[in-house]
Amino acid sequence: MTFFEKLKRSQEKSKSLLCVGLDTDSRGLPDILKMEANPVIAFNKAIIDATKDFACCYKLQLAYYEAYGKKGIDAVEETLAYIPSDILTIGDVKRGDIGATSEQYRYAYQEMFPFDSITINPLMGSDAVEPFLQREDRGVFFLGLTSNPGARDFEYLELTNGKRLYEEVTDKVREWNTAKKNAGLVVGATKPDELKALRQRAPELPFLIPGIGAQGGSLEAVLEANGDGLALINVSRGIAGVSKGSDFAEAAGKAAQNYAEQMRAVLSM
């Protein structure tokens, strides 16, 4: 199954655009898990059990697993294996490098850890990202317009060709997507006006939209701006971080259900 097909099927089955972010910090887990051999794995499995009926996607922010050393490697492997096969997975790695080095990253995050898709930083250009786009069954979300204040420093810069840098990136991602329909764009939820304009600019691209909740993005505004475009709307702390008590999984499940029901109401899914 191609990446594009898997993405669409995961949304049809779940009737949801919700991507649950597993940014699991080993140093901030509920006390009830502290006696587990690998508390991060236990936490992720409990969150997946509680949210899998409302999610079309799980996204692992690799930084948290890298900071956990060898136990982090176990956690990525076991979490990936535990996610139901009809739900999409994203490895949020934001890598970007050249030639032989990109091939190593490709192996790490498409083969060793078999993520359905990964995030990639496009700054170094076409030859740097090309290795990640070789497999039709593996997707790549490129950083387009991010949700943080620092996006003003470079992403918004005006070019002499009349575009802003993030628009130039978007146009390039559209080119990269033509061969295998496996490229998408990261667009922050905190910028609904720009999201709406990017949706018109690139109607065919899947968007990964982080920044709902803790970062200040509004689900309602994002749904309106995105219209009927193919999108994954990520929520991390607003689901997996709602409670630190023994009810952490139940609370995550309720939060996920709430997000999914808002989506279903607006989109008539």
Residues marked active site are found at 94
Sign of torsion over alpha carbons 188, 191, 192, 193? negative
CA dihedral 17, 155, 64, 23 (to 10 degrees): -20
- Shortest distance (Å) from residue 68 CB to a second copy: 9
179 binds a second copy (CB under 8 A): no
Residue 123 C-alpha from the chain's centroid = 19
Which CB atom, from 198 or from 260, has the smaller least distance to a second copy? 198
Q: How many residues bind a second copy (CB under 8 A)?
A: 53
Q: How far apart are CA 24 and CA 40, in angstroms?
A: 7
Q: Nearest approach, Cβ of 72 to a second copy (angstroms)?
A: 9
What backbone phi and psi angles, to 5 degrees, belong to 77? -60, -50
Q: Tell whether residue 64 is a contact of a second copy (CB under 8 A).
A: yes
Choices 4-12, 58-66, 82-90, 243-251; region in contact with a second copy by CB under 8 A: 58-66
Report the DSSP beta bridge partners of residue 117: 90, 139
Q: What is the CA radius of gyration of the chain?
A: 18
* Residue (52 or 106) nearer to a second copy, CB: 106
Provide the 10 A C-beta neighbour count for residue 13. Answer: 12
Q: Of 15-34, which residues contact a second copy (CB under 8 A)?
A: 23, 25
HSE-CB for 94 with a 13 A CA cutoff:
9
Site membership for a second copy, residue 125 (CB under 8 A) = yes
170 in contact with a second copy (CB under 8 A)? no
Instruction: Show the site string, 65-104: x = touches a second copy by CB under 8 A, - = not.
Output: -xx-xx--x--------------------xxxxxxxxx-x
The yes or no reply on residue 147 touching a second copy (CB under 8 A) is yes
Question: Which residues make Cβ contacts (< 8 Å) with residue 8, sequence separation at least 6?
Answer: 230
172 sits near a second copy (criterion: CB under 8 A): yes
CB of 26 to a second copy, least distance (A): 10
Q: Which residue reads 């929520």 in tokens?
A: 235
Longest CA–CA span in the chain (Å) reads: 58
Q: Which of 1, 157, 265, 269 binds a second copy (CB under 8 A)?
A: 157
| Site for a second copy, rule CB under 8 A | 23, 25, 61, 63-64, 66-67, 69-70, 73, 94-102, 104-105, 107-108, 112, 121-129, 143, 146-155, 157-161, 165, 168-169, 172
